[in-house]
């Protein structure tokens, strides 16, 4: 992977630990020094080079000359009224911003499933899903590995201040992670490094709208994270009406890639289904989904739509959600109705950024 040219400044969060070791080795410093820098970044989570007081002065000087530590700044933060969700708009060095969400779920006895960070992988998104505020804003740019990692550090620092730890990361914020494959996977490698943030790979879930080459590549690589595939429709016509990339990767190709992933990785796939009243929530559509997934090691997450300003769909009512779920059960397919965390704080991805942009556009004083 490319680190930086001599004239470019290196964002330390962009580097995996082996890359940091290589960089420091080039300056004549041993692995011991790289480990110290790494611990400052991810164990102590210091926010500037000046705080790394235990480094050898000549190493600190080298770092100050060639690198930066670029934590993300809070542009806006908003809490849901149920107290379970906190959503942040975080500023990037070039003035762009991305959304990151901290969600808390009822914990199990073993501590699984508690604090979860939902992080972004792009500014905007090229996929254009009709019901998504990020899709409605279009694609602006990819995030670097460091900009993805910095969101995780941001949330983990916040939790530590409250005596908690970050357990789970979902790559489900703004952007399509498999459209920014290399940066996303470098970020996963940094997050799971056992000397740093040490997140368990099984506590990381990557959500894709169905980028077939990326699913196949993920199947071929040794990264035991979870895969979630957003389906939203069980026929090509229904999918294409909601998810434009379905025209490029039709269902037969997508399902072949999913079967390939299951064969290679032997790990259950989560299928996401945003439930939109009158669009994809009828009993007939539940039966077609059941037939599509029957026999696969699959779990369906049913997510009643988070309304957005740019789409006039409404969430499915609870009786229809229950019926949809029981039809899936007839096909032996387990499903969960995802709690609509933070509906009152625009929890769907892209909504806070879109609202903030609208505020700036609308307000004559801003």
Report the interface residues with ligand SF4, using CB under 6 A: 125, 127-129, 132, 134-135, 174-176, 209, 349
**188 vs 303 by CB, closer to ligand SF4:** 303
CA distance linking residue 329 with residue 258, whole number of Å: 20
Q: Which neighbouring-strand residues pair with 85? A: 103
Interacting residues of 186 by C-beta distance below 8 A, sequence separation 6+? 1, 14, 16, 145
**85 vs 351 by CB, closer to ligand SF4:** 351
The helix or strand, by DSSP H or E, that contains position 62, with its residue range, turns out to be: helix 57-66
- The C-alpha angle 13, 15, 18, rounded to 5 degrees, equals 140
Q: How many CB atoms lie within 10 A of CB 198?
A: 12
**125 vs 152 by CB, closer to ligand SF4:** 125
**125 vs 148 by CB, closer to ligand SF4:** 125
CA contacts within 13 A on the Cβ side of 42: 27
Q: Nearest to residue 207, comparing CAs of 57, 296, 338, 54?
A: 338
- Residues involved in catalysis: 99, 349
Interacting residues of 273 by C-beta distance below 8 A, sequence separation 6+? 230, 231, 232, 280, 289, 300, 301, 302, 303
- The nearest distance, CB 280 to ligand SF4, in angstroms, is 14
- The nearest distance, CB 339 to ligand SF4, in angstroms, is 18
- Pure H helices in 109-172: 133-137, 145-161
**41 vs 206 by CB, closer to ligand SF4:** 206
CA distance linking residue 201 with residue 178, whole number of Å: 17
Nearest to ligand SF4 by Cβ — which residue?
A: 135
Q: How many CB atoms lie within 10 A of CB 228?
A: 18
**20 vs 125 by CB, closer to ligand SF4:** 125
Query: Could you tell me whether strands 269-275 and 226-230 are parallel, antiparallel, or unpaired per DSSP bridges?
Result: parallel
* 205 within 8 A of 211, measured Cβ to Cβ: no
CA contacts within 13 A on the Cβ side of 311: 25
């Amino acid at each position: 992977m490319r680190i930086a040219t001599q004239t470019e400044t290196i964002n330390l969060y962009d580097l995996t630990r082996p890359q940091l070791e290589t960089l420091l080795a080039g300056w004549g410093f041993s692995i011991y020094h790289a480990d110290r820098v790494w611990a400052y970044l991810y164990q102590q989570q210091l926010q500037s080079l000046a705080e790394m007081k235990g480094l050898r002065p000549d190493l600190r000087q080298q770092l100050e000359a060639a690198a930066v530590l670029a934590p993300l700044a809070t542009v806006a933060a908003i809490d849901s009224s149920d107290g379970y969700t906190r959503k942040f708009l975080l500023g990037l060095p070039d003035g762009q911003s991305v959304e990151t969400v901290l969600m808390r779920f009822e914990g199990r006895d073993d501590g699984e499933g508690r604090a979860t960070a939902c992080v972004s992988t792009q500014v905007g998104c090229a996929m254009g899903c009709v019901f998504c505020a990020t899709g409605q804003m279009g694609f602006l740019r990819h995030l670097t590995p460091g900009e993805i990692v910095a969101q995780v550090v941001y949330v983990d620092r916040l939790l530590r201040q409250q005596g908690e730890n970050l357990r789970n990361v979902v790559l489900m914020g703004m952007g399509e992670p498999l459209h920014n494959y290399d940066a996303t996977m470098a970020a996963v490698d940094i997050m799971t490094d056992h000397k740093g943030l040490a997140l368990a790979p099984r506590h990381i879930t990557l959500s894709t709208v169905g980028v077939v080459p990326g699913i196949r590549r993920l199947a071929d690589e040794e990264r035991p994270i979870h895969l979630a595939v957003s389906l939203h429709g069980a026929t090509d016509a229904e999918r294409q009406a909601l998810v434009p990339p379905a025209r490029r990767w039709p269902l037969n190709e997508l399902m072949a890639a999913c079967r390939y992933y299951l064969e290679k990785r032997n790990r259950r796939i989560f299928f996401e289904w945003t439930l939109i009243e009158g669009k994809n929530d009828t009993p007939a559509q539940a039966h077609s989904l059941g037939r599509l997934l029957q026999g696969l090691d699959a779990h369906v997450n049913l997510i009643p739509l988070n309304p957005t300003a740019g789409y006039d769909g409404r969430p499915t009512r609870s009786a229809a959600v229950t019926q949809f779920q029981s039809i899936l059960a007839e096909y032996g397919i387990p499903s969960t109705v995802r709690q609509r965390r933070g509906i009152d704080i625009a929890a769907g991805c892209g909504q806070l950024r879109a609202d903030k942009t609208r505020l700036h556009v609308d307000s004559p004083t801003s």
